[in-house]
Structure 1
Amino acid sequence: MEAAQPRTHVIGAGLIGASIGIGLSTEGWTVTIEDADPDAETLAHAIGAGLALRDASPELVIVAVPPALAAGIVAEALDRWPHAVVTDVASVKAPIAQAAHATGHADRYVGSHPMAGREISGAIAAQGDLFKARPWVLCPNGATAHAVDLVARVPRALQCDLVTMDATAHDEAVARVSHAPQVAASAVAAALGTLGPDDVALAGQGLRDVTRIAASDPRMWADIARLNRHALIATITHIIGDLEDVRDSDDVGEALTDLIERGRVEVARIPGKHGGVKREWVPVTVIVPDRPGQLLRLLSDVESVGVNVEDITIEHSPRQPVGLTTLHVLPARAEELSLALIAHDWEIAAS
C-alpha cells in the first residue's frame, strides 16, 4: 500500500514555489505556503498554490526563496520544524549544503534543483505543469534514506526526470550548461551596443538563437554568480582561453575551424527529443505571410501530409510583411513535405 503523501509546506510564493504548490495540490497533496510578502502569499492562496499554515506541523518543507536567501531559510526551517525533512530549489547547491551541515541537522536536508523556469516571475506566472518532463536534481549530501525518499516524491509527483548528484558536481555542471550560456548570451548581446538601428536590422536567426536568454533578470543572476563563483569563473576562463586561441592564432581560419569542429562534437552530446540521442533533422523553411491564421493553416497542411515536426523556429523579417517558419523534420520526409506544401500554395525558401 502506497504511503500517504507528506504534509508539505512551501516557503516562498514566487514562480517556482507557487508552481510546486499548484502541481502538488493538483495531485492531491496537502500543501501550505507562506511568503515574506503578504500580497504574494495571498495571491498564492487564491490561485491554489497552497493553504495558510495553521497549527499542523509539516513533514516536508520546500524552501523556494531567492538563491541568496536560501541557506539562511533552510537553516531556520531545520530549527523551526525539528521533525521535518527540508529541501530547497535554488540553482546552486554546495553553499546551502554547507549551511545545513553547520546546523547539525544535515541528515534531514536534501538539496534539489528543478531545471525549469519562465521569463515571467511571480506567482501570477505559476503553472502546475512547469516541471513536467524536465530534469529535477537531488543532492542527498549525507541525508537519511527516509529524507531522500520523501523529497524524491516531489519530482515524481510532478512527472520530472529525476537525477541524483553530489552538490559540488552539480554546481560545476550547471556552471557549464546553464550559467555560462547566460554570460555568453549577454556578452554577445552587449556587443551590439556599438551598432546603429540599421546594423542591428541585419540580424538573422543565429543572433536570435544565441541571445534569446540575454533578456534574463540581472538581479537573480547576480546572486547565482556570487554563490557559484568558483565554478563559474573556471568555466568562463575555459571559454576565454578558446577565444584567445582564435584571436591570437597566425591562421585565424584554422583556429576557428578547430573550435567549431570541437563544438560540433560536443553539441551532438546534448540530449535530443525525449532525452534520447540527438538526431539530425532537415530544415524546411516556408515563407509565411504575417497575417492572422497563416501559421495555423501551415501546420494544418503539414498534419495533412502526416509528417511529424520535430522542432520549429520562426524568424520575422523586419522590413517585409512575411516571416520565415522553419520546420525541422526527419531527412526521409523532408522532400515529401516540401512538395506537399508547394502543392498547397506555400512558397519554400531556398536553403
Structure 2
Amino acid sequence: MTVHPRTHIIGAGLIGASIGLGLRTQGWPVTITDASERAASLAWDIGAGEPLGEREPELVIVAVRPSDTGDVVAEALRAWPGAVVTDVASVKAPVLAAARAIEASERYVGSHPMAGREVSGGLAAQSDLFSARPWVVCAGDAPDATVEVVRTVARALESDIVEMAADAHDAAVARVSHAPQVVASAAAAALGPLHADDVALAGQGLRDVTRIAGSPPAMWADIARLNHTALVSTLDHIIGDLEDVREADDIGEALTDLIARGNLEVERIPGKHGGKTRDWRGVTVIVPDEPGQLVRLLTDAAQVGANVEDLSIEHSPRQPVGLTTLYVEPESAPPLVEALERAGWTVASS
C-alpha cells in the first residue's frame, strides 16, 4: 500500500483548496490553513483538508499570493526542518532566492500548476482543476529524492510534469501567461470611450480576446512586480510589432506580415489534452434563448456520433436567439449539418 506524505497546505484559495480536494480524493492525509479564518473554515467544510494538528507535516505546499510566497516559504522551511517545501506561485526565481537566503534551498522545490479559473476563492475549488494541465517543477538546489516528492503531487493530480530551471520558467510564463493578461486587459480598457450601444456590436472575437480581462488586479500587480524584467522584455516585443504596423507606409502589408507570423505561432499552442492543435470545423446553429435548447442541440449532435471538441456561444443583444458554434472534426461536419437540419435546427454556417 502506498504511503502518502503528511501534507500541509498554507493558503485556502482556489489553488490551495483545489490541491487539497484532489489529494484527498487520492487518499492523502491533508491539513490546510489560511490567514483568513473564514477561508480556512470553508476549506475544512468542503473537504479540502483538516485543521493543522500536532504532528509535523512531511510536505508543505505554499499557496498564498505571489508577493507573500517567498516569506511564507522561508517561514515554513524554518518551522518544519524535516519537511519538503514547495509553492504554486507563477514566478519562481524570487522564491528560490528566498530559500537560498536562509540556507535551506535543498529542501525547497519550486512548482507552478498551469491551471486556474476566472473566479477565485475556495468556494470555486475543483478536485480535477489540474488534470491534463502542465505542472512545472523547478528543482533548484534540491536533490532528486526531494524533487520526486513534488513530482508525486503532480502525478496524483493527473498533471503533465514539465521540468525547468526557475529563470527559464519565468521567461516563458512572461510570454505565455503574463503578457497575454496585459494585452487582454488593454483591449478591454480600450472600450472605455465607447457608448453602451457601441459595445453591443461586440462579437465572439472580442469576447475571446478579453476573456481573462476580469482577473483580480492585485494578484497580477504582484506577478508583474516579481517578474518585471521578463514581462517588460515581452511587452517591448509586442509593442515593437504594433509600432511596425502603426508606422508602416502600407499598413495592410505590415498587418499581413504580423497576422501571418501569428498564424505560424498559434499552431504551436497545445490543443486538446496537450496534443497538437487540430483544424476543427465550426458548425454554427441558431439557438432560441430558452431553457433546455442547448442541451437539445448537444443531444441531437451526439445521436449522429459527432464528437464536439469545443463550442462557443454568441448572444444577440436585441434578438431572442443566440449563435452556438460546435467544433468537430472536418469529416464530421457534413453529416452533422444534415442531421441537425432534419431535426429542425437552422444552420447558419459550416
Query: Structure 2 length normalisation: TM-score?
Result: 0.98
Match of 2:277 in 1: 278
SS in 1 for 2:172: helix
* Deviation beyond 2 Å, 4+ runs, structure 1: none
Q: In 2, Cα distance between the equivalents of 1:39 and 1:275?
A: 36
Q: Which moved more, 1:203-212 or 1:117-126?
A: 117-126
Match of 1:134 in 2: 133
Q: In 1, Cα distance between the equivalents of 2:274 and 2:126?
A: 22
Q: CA deviation at 1:3?
A: 4.8
- Listed as ranges, the matches of 1:187-336 within 5 Å are 187-336=186-335
Asked if the contact 2:133–2:274 (Cα under 8 Å) also holds between the matched residues in 1, the reply is no
Q: In 2, Cα distance between the equivalents of 1:123 and 1:316?
A: 30
- Listed as ranges, the matches of 1:35-74 within 5 Å are 35-74=34-73
Match of 2:152 in 1: 153
Residue 341 of structure 1 aligns with an amino acid whose one-letter code is L
Q: In 2, Cα distance between the equivalents of 1:332 and 1:126?
A: 37
Pairs aligned (count): 350
Match of 1:144 in 2: 143
Q: CA deviation at 1:167?
A: 0.6
Residue 173 of structure 2 aligns with an amino acid whose one-letter code is V
SS in 2 for 1:194: coil
Q: CA deviation at 1:130?
A: 1.3
RMSD: 1.0
Residue 214 of structure 2 aligns with an amino acid whose one-letter code is A
Query: Structure 1 length normalisation: TM-score?
Result: 0.98
Q: In 2, Cα distance between the equivalents of 1:247 and 1:63?
A: 44
Unaligned runs of 5+ residues in structure 2 are none
Q: In 1, Cα distance between the equivalents of 2:34 and 2:243?
A: 46
Distance change in 2, residues 1:202/1:76 (3 Å): same
Q: Per-residue CA shift, 1:221-278, capped at 9, x if unaligned?
A: 0001000110110000000000000000000000000000000000011111221111
SS in 2 for 1:53: coil
The answer to whether the aligner puts 1:105 opposite 2:104 as a matched pair is yes
Q: In 1, Cα distance between the equivalents of 2:170 and 2:2?
A: 33
Match of 1:86 in 2: 85
Q: In 1, Cα distance between the equivalents of 2:307 and 2:29?
A: 40
Q: In 1, Cα distance between the equivalents of 2:277 and 2:129?
A: 23
Q: In 2, Cα distance between the equivalents of 1:31 and 1:273?
A: 31
Q: Which moved more, 1:311-320 or 1:116-125?
A: 116-125
Residue 57 of structure 2 aligns with an amino acid whose one-letter code is P
Match of 1:34 in 2: 33
SS in 2 for 1:192: coil
Residue 191 of structure 2 aligns with an amino acid whose one-letter code is L
SS in 1 for 2:192: helix
Q: In 2, Cα distance between the equivalents of 1:171 and 1:310?
A: 31
Match of 1:348 in 2: 347
